[in-house]
Amino acid sequence: MTALPARSRVGLAQAVRDTAVITKRNLLRNVRLPQLLLFSTVQPVMFLLLFNYVFGGAIGRAIPPAAGGKYINWLIPGLVVQVATFGAGQTALGLTEDLSKGVIDRFRSLPMARSAVLAGRTMSDLIRNGLIISLMLGVGFLIGFRYQTDFVRLVAGVAVALAFTYAMSWVMAAIGLAVKNPEAAQSAVFLPVFPLVFASSVFVPTQTMPDWLRAFADNQPITVTTNALRGLILGEGALLPGQTVEGQILAALAWAAGILAVFAPLAVRVYRRTVS
């Protein structure tokens, strides 16, 4: 019987390996229960269909011509950001589920990198949300969405959305770990997110909102990220006068970096407090 050597510190290589193991474990769930991915895609597709066919005609008049005269072109970048935001909520749900099932205790009793539990969870959710966004773009193409720039810019837009969803995953991790139980996490996560998504440029241009709301809507991260995507996918004409595509991309990335800088350490601290 060969005993494992006692190791006081977990090296970086081991930490990366452990993170990969946890990421794979989390992703396998989506593979084994493909319904999970499908259901997560159904909701944005439903929004897509509802908004496109129900409100599209009315809203269509208010959108910039850069959208090629089709509301769906304007809506898709917004919905990508909506998926990025809601999808991040999955991080809270996954963590609370692992907490309540004792899986996190098992991980913590192993000589693995402590960081791997959170790093693996946010990584697997990033991959998962990337898949859902791709699926949704696919459905969008089927019902008439066309990017107005080029494919590289579309991909760049998705990358900006992924940076945002990754940062939001850490916010959700902190929320989930603070409330601990899966049922409470469900509402704790979506309650703050709903108003943020609707009071933004995701569905309608902010110009039609009352001034006080518009002041908020124009400057919150979901709008900024949506603008960056619209600039990339539809061109500068989709932005407000005075805004540039580069400016919106930089602002969106700055938001993502800022959120990450605040919430990643916070989530780690809440994790340490929650589990002991």
Q: Which residues bind other proteins (CB under 8 A)?
A: 1-10, 14, 17-18, 21, 25, 28-29, 32-33, 101-103, 105-112, 275-276
Choose between 195 and 272: whose C-beta lies nearer to other proteins.
272
Q: How many helices (H) and strands (E) does the chain have?
A: 11, 0
Q: What is the C-alpha separation between 252 and 158, in angstroms, rounded?
A: 12
Rounded least distance, CB 29 to other proteins, Å: 5
Choose between 9 and 61: whose C-beta lies nearer to other proteins.
9
Rounded least distance, CB 96 to other proteins, Å: 15
Choose between 6 and 142: whose C-beta lies nearer to other proteins.
6
Rounded least distance, CB 40 to other proteins, Å: 16
| Torsion 232-198-165-53 (CA) sign | negative
Rounded least distance, CB 112 to other proteins, Å: 4
Rounded least distance, CB 124 to other proteins, Å: 13
Cα–Cα distances in angstroms (integers) from residue 2 to residues 5, 6, 8, 27, 112, in the given order:
9, 12, 18, 32, 19
What would the two tokens of residue 74 be? 């304007």
Q: How many CB atoms lie within 10 A of CB 209?
A: 17
What would the two tokens of residue 225 be? 């990220």
What would the two tokens of residue 178 be? 């603070």
CA 160-52-81 angle, 5° bins: 15
Rounded least distance, CB 33 to other proteins, Å: 6
CB 159 within 8 A of CB 57: no
Choose between 111 and 258: whose C-beta lies nearer to other proteins.
111
Choose between 2 and 61: whose C-beta lies nearer to other proteins.
2
Choose between 17 and 70: whose C-beta lies nearer to other proteins.
17
Choose between 39 and 141: whose C-beta lies nearer to other proteins.
39
Rounded least distance, CB 95 to other proteins, Å: 14
Q: What is the DSSP string of 11-76?
A: -HHHHHHHHHHHHHHHHHHHHH-HHHHHHHHHHHHHHHHHIIIIIHHHHHTTS-GGGTT-HHHHHH
Contacts for 17 with CB less than 8 Å, ≥ 6 apart: none
